[in-house]
Amino acid sequence: MPDTFQILEEQQGEVALLRLHGYLDAHTAAEFESAIQRRVDQGCACIVVDCEKLSYISSAGLGVFMSFIEELREKEGDIRIGGLLPKVRQVFDILGFTEIFQLFDTADAAVTSFQLKEEGDATNV
Amino acid sequence: MAEEAPTPSDPVATPSAPVTQLLQGVEQLNATLDLPEISERLLSIAMEHCGATRGVAALRHSTGFTQVAAVQGLNQVHPGDPFRPEVATSLGLPMILPIGDPLEPLGYLALGGYEGAREAGGSPEKDAPERPYLRVLLGIGASVVASALSHQESQRLNEKLNQRLQELRALLDFGRGLTSTLDVDEIVQLLALTLAGRWAIARYAVHTWRDGYEDVFRARGFTFAQVEALAGRFPDLAEAILLGEDGNLEWLRHLSVPPGSMLIPLLSNEQTIGLVLCGLRLRNQPYSQEDLEFGLTLASRAASAIENAWFFKEALSAREIERELALAAGIQQDLFPKKMPVPEGWDVAARNRQARQVGGDYFDGMPLRRDGGEKVLYVVSDVAGKGIGSALLMANIQATLRALLDHEPTLEAIAREANELLFDSTPSNRYATALLLLLDPHSGEADFVNCAHNNPLLLRADDAEEWLDAPGLALGMMKRSTQQQAHVSIGPGDILVIYTDGVSEAVNEKDEEYGLDRLRDTVRRLRHQSSKTIVDGIFEAIEYHVGDAPQHDDITLMVIKRNPDHPPGV
């Protein structure tokens, strides 16, 4: 029996942090898409997805990541990923997602990467 | 060991120099399985050995096509360019050596700017001392290239296997997802997400349509208008295609859809029920033949799930209609009089049974307020057709009659006015036969209008039978009123039976009608019973006659009986 899918949401400054638990597949992809869509609709452009507790991802789950990337990057934001387990990372690799998304060892590092950019922007002003 | 390596200028060391070089070269070549690197090293070693300043290493692919893999000292040649030994000379590369078996080389080394040779007169013989060394080097190079090629091939196969595995997983996951939904929007969403994830595409659109329903459309990066334009251009798409392959790049540019995007039909029973548009892959990988097949497979599974979901939706709305019909039936039942007006000295009963939830038969009894408030109008009517339309017309007839009742001087005037009102308010295929009877219960005198209705049976107290007829077309059929009033006297002990054709035409399994004779006989048999008993008795007799045959028509029956012990005028 697959783990129940769960999304825990936090806001860290400008960054929306979504922590995924369990299986992200055809049954749960829609829920994940709505969660991100909600954040995007609220005007959030910087999103970090914590995959440390994500035990499985299917094509439909990866499709959610793809669905927002253009829109967020156009808004100078991004969707970044932290803490992929080796088995999940392998799927990212095979489907070429490692070349498209910025991956970090931990979600914290991904959140920090956004904050560094913000600080950089601030000092440039 | 580098310090021990003899320099080429050292005459004593000369014989062993090529061997050392060769060993070093082999070592370098063996250190990698990367083909571009191997080509680069092979070329460098050979050039260094000969003192060449220009050189090309080219490799032959499994397709037979030979491509430049490494190049030095030539600006006009680049890795990836096609290579043909014949033209190498014109590039200033006179020495062309096959890598591996000369009859089936794995590639070539082409060298030139070969100063030593030129200074010595450039004769081929002068090249001779270099040749054995190069041959050995190339022999070793060939085996290194061959093993790198096979490594590359096994990697390619591995990658292909991984991709197929992912396809299979995506299909399985998609199938699992489909089992948990009967919602077209959700199926479309799942299809879009699965394709987006499988191919790493950020732009996609799925559009599906069905007569009588709102279109379902889901897209990222594409608009409805773009997909509509594609649907117009590819109306009978039967397979997945890559856009732009038919050469119409200008049209695509105008539409802002990049060439190389994939268009997939949603096919259900060979009918196109939708389209899927997939934008370019983010890694700039073109779609392969396998991708086209995968896309069509996934889309076909989605299409049949969508079809099922529509069926489910239709079944649901059929159930909703059923519920609404039940509601309508309830309202219609309320239109029938709860209690028939029964004047003193008379016995009146009526009953209706509908073939469907709502029917077109109607009966009523309404006391008049005028003329001392004693007269009563009895109505039995049969609206053409069945179902909601007939039920509405029935309600219309009732409202019209009730409105006219006290305002028109005669029954004929009521009938004619009702006819015109109904004609104006209904299509001409909507009409109703009707029998209107205006009874003066005191005298037993009655006027009646027969609007193409079944002639009522009047069974006299002395057992004589009469069938009440009067000229007139059905109500609402023609603008011109044709209804004419007739008159009848109902004496004590007389029984009037008004009925619809559902009574006389009720058929059994042998297709025999219940008929007027049976009706008359039943009334005769029950003539001393109450009106209600006579009505119920006729219903029973019809049921007995019909047996297991289905009821096709509404059945309505009204019995008006003048009590025998109540002589007229008393």
Chain A residue with CA closest to B219: the answer is A67
**Chain A nearest C-alpha distance from B305 (Å):** 14
**How much of chain B is helix, strand and coil, in % rounded to 5?**
45, 20, 35
A96–B200: do the CB atoms touch at under 8 Å?
A: yes
- Which range marks the domain in which residue A113 is found? 6-124
Of A33, A58, A99, which has the smallest distance from its Cβ to B170's Cβ?
A58
Shortest CA distance from B191: residue in chain A: A60
The total domain count for chain A is 1
At residue B414's C-alpha, the angle toward residues B410 and B416, to 5°, is 110
* Closest Cβ–Cβ partner in B173, B189, B203 for A30: B189
The DSSP 8-state label assigned to residue B494 in this structure reads -
Count of beta carbons in the 10 Å neighbourhood of residue B370: 11
Beta-bridge mates of residue B402 = none
Residue in A33, A58, A70 nearest the CB of B169: A58
Q: Is residue A1 part of a domain?
A: no
Report chain A residues whose CB lies below 8 A from the CB of B173.
25-26, 58-60
- Note whether residue A119 is domain-resident: yes
Task: Name every chain A residue with its beta carbon within 8 A of the beta carbon of B294.
Answer: none
Q: Which domains are seen in chain B, by residue range?
A: 2-151 (3.30.450.40), 181-312 (3.30.450.40), 336-562 (3.60.40.10)
Question: Are residues A60 and B176, on separate chains, in Cβ contact within 8 Å?
Answer: no
- Measured over the CA atoms of residue B269, residue B271, residue B272 and residue B273, the dihedral's sign is negative
What integer pLDDT is reported at residue B25 of this predicted model?
78
Disruptive mutation site among B155, B165, B171, B194 for chain A (greatest number of A CBs within 10 Å): B194
Residue with tokens 């008004």: B498
Q: Where are the alpha helices (DSSP H) in B70-183?
A: 85-88, 115-119, 124-127, 130-179
Query: CA B330 to CA B446: how far, in whole Å?
Result: 33
Tell me whether B226 touches chain A (CB under 8 Å): no
Question: Is A97 close to B200, i.e. CB distance below 8 A?
Answer: yes
Comparing CB atoms, the residue among B169, B197, B285 nearest residue A63 is: B197
In a domain, A118, yes or no: yes
pLDDT value of residue B3? 45
Whole-number Å distance between alpha carbons of B175 and A26: 8
For residue A116, being part of any structural domain is answered with yes
Residues 6+ apart with CB under 8 A from B194: A26, A58, A59, A60, A63, B170, B173, B174, B177, B298
Window 507-536 of B, Cβ < 8 Å to A? none
Contact between B190 and A60 using a beta-carbon 8 Å cutoff: yes
Q: What ipTM was predicted for this assembly?
A: 0.92
Interface of A with B (CB under 8 A): 25-27, 29-30, 33, 58-67, 69-71, 91, 94-97, 99-100
Of B486, B531, B522, whose CA–CA distance to B504 is shortest?
B522
Helical ranges in B239-347 per DSSP H: 249-255, 289-335
pLDDT of A37: 95
Residue A31 lies inside a defined structural domain of this protein = yes
d(CA B570, CA B57): 132
Residue A32 within a domain: yes
For A32, nearest residue in chain B (alpha carbons) = B193
Residue A25 Cα, gap to closest chain B Cα (Å): 7
SS (H, E, C) B392-425: HHHHHHHHHHHHHCCCCCCHHHHHHHHHHHHHHH
B27: its two tokens: 């070592």
- Partner-chain residue, chosen from A61, A63, A70, that has the shortest CB–CB distance to B221: A70
Strand partners, B112: B54
Ranges under pLDDT 50 in chain B: 1-15, 117-128, 568-570
- Distance between CA atoms of residues B226 and B246, nearest Å: 18
* Nearest chain B residue to A67, by CA: B202
What does the pLDDT look like over A55-103, one tens digit per residue? Answer: 999 999 999 999 999 999 999 999 999 999 999 999 999 888 999 999 9
pLDDT for B568 equals: 46
**Residue B270 has which token pair?**
């060979």
**In 3D, which of B315, B421, B442 has the Cα closest to residue B372?**
B442
- B72 DSSP β-pair partners: B55
> Residue A6 carries which side chain, given as an amino acid letter?
Q
Number of other residues whose CB lies within 10 A of the CB of residue B102: 9
Q: Cα–Cα distance between B414 and B436 in angstroms, integer?
A: 9
> Which residues in chain B have Cβ-Cβ distances shorter than 8 Å to A99?
283
Residue B11: the pLDDT is 44
Sequence-distant (≥ 6) Cβ neighbours of residue B562 within 8 angstroms: B345, B346, B347, B444, B490, B491, B492, B493, B494, B495
The C-alpha of B8 sits at a distance from chain A's nearest C-alpha, in angstroms, of 47
Domain assignment present for residue A13? The answer is yes
8 Å CB contact of B180 and A27: yes
> At A27, which CATH number?
3.30.750.24
**What spatial distance separates the first Cα and last Cα of chain B, rounded to whole Å?**
148
Q: With contact defined as beta carbons under 8 Å apart, do A51 and A85 qualify?
A: yes
Contact B460, B490 (CB under 8 A): no
Looking at B192-259, which runs of residues are DSSP E strands? 204-208, 216-220, 241-242
